[in-house]
Amino acid sequence: MTLRIHALFHTDYADLSFIKQWANAHNHPITVSRSYDNHALPTPDSFDWLIVMGGPMSVYDEEKHPWLIAEKELITQTIDAGKTVIGICLGSQLIAHCLGANVQPSGVKEIGWLPMQLTETGQAHPILQDLPKDPFMVFHWHGEGFDCPKGASIIAETQAWANQGFIYQTPKHKQLGTWVLAWQCHFEVTEESLPKMVSNGNAAIQSGLQDYPETVQSPDEILALGDKYIEENNERLAAMLNRIAASENK
């Protein structure tokens, strides 16, 4: 089954990374909107999956970034249509916000390769059966978090922030075998994309090292640990995407 994937980008340097590799391997066409560059947004009937990527802004920055208003409308429409929606970092926060949950500073910044643990719900969830039951290393870059949206299930946590991801389904999603999946972390980073994120975000890293030395890593440490953990995290993401695609009733 061919899936039409549309992605919302929020920076010039953060892209789909491994998700693009996965989509290309399965012949799923990709379209992209960059609202911050005045790209027109599509309508939900023009795609099957919506992937909402990360960015440095807050979900509440509508005055500074008025295009967030239209993006939130599209995310809400897509969820209401029962389509698969996947959020990463800011994308997860936008989805939570559109579902009525509060998004706020978490009180700590997590930037680097840090251990994450699936909750009991996460361990039991059919979409996540290829992820380790024990804590495992993933790449984080966030300073805000979300409350659990009503009707959603929290699937992962870290020592610094309890709500690291959630899964949600409306009755229409259950009928269609589709999902809303949100992750604070970045399973998608690759050897090519990680150095771009580190280079463009160096100021945030240096500030975080001063204020949150236990949860923020230096650029050299991030890149060195990336060599160790990127491949297995890409494999975990591929497994999740494969399970989501296989669950859809078309």
Q: Rg (Cα) of the chain, in Å, rounded?
A: 17
**Would you place residue 93 in the very low, low, confident or very high pLDDT band (cuts 50, 70, 90)?**
very high
Model confidence pLDDT, tens digit, residues 95-133: 999 999 999 999 999 999 999 999 999 999 999 999 999
Read off the pLDDT of each residue in 41-50 and give the average, rounded to a whole number.
Answer: 98
Taking only the tens place, the pLDDT of each residue in 168-199 is: 999 999 999 999 999 999 999 999 999 999 99
Q: Tell which CATH classification among 3.30.2310.20, 3.30.1360.20, 3.40.50.970, 3.40.50.880 matches the domain 5-247.
A: 3.40.50.880
* Domain ranges across the chain: 5-247
- Model pLDDT for residues 129-168, shown as the tens digit of each residue: 999 999 999 999 999 999 999 999 999 999 999 999 999 9
* pLDDT band per the 50, 70, 90 thresholds, residue 15: confident
For residue 249, pLDDT over 80 is answered with: no
Per-residue pLDDT, averaged over 13-34, amounts to: 96
pLDDT grade, residue 250 (50/70/90)? low
Mean pLDDT of the residues in the chain: 97
pLDDT at 14: 77
Q: 0.85 cut: is pTM over it?
A: yes
Percent of the chain's residues with pLDDT above 90: 97
- Output the 3-class SS for the chain: CCCCEEEEECCCCCCCCHHHHHHHHCCCCEEEEEHHHCCCCCCHHHCCEEEECCCCCCCCCCCCCCHHHHHHHHHHHHHHCCCEEEEECHHHHHHHHHCCCCEEEEEEEEEEEEEEEECHHHHHCHHHCCCCCCCEEEEEEEEEEECCCCCCEEEEECCCCCCCEEEECCHHHHHHCCCEEEECCCCCCCCCHHHHHHHHCHHHHHHHHHHCCCCECCHHHHHHHHHHHHHHHHHHHHHHHHHHHHHCCC
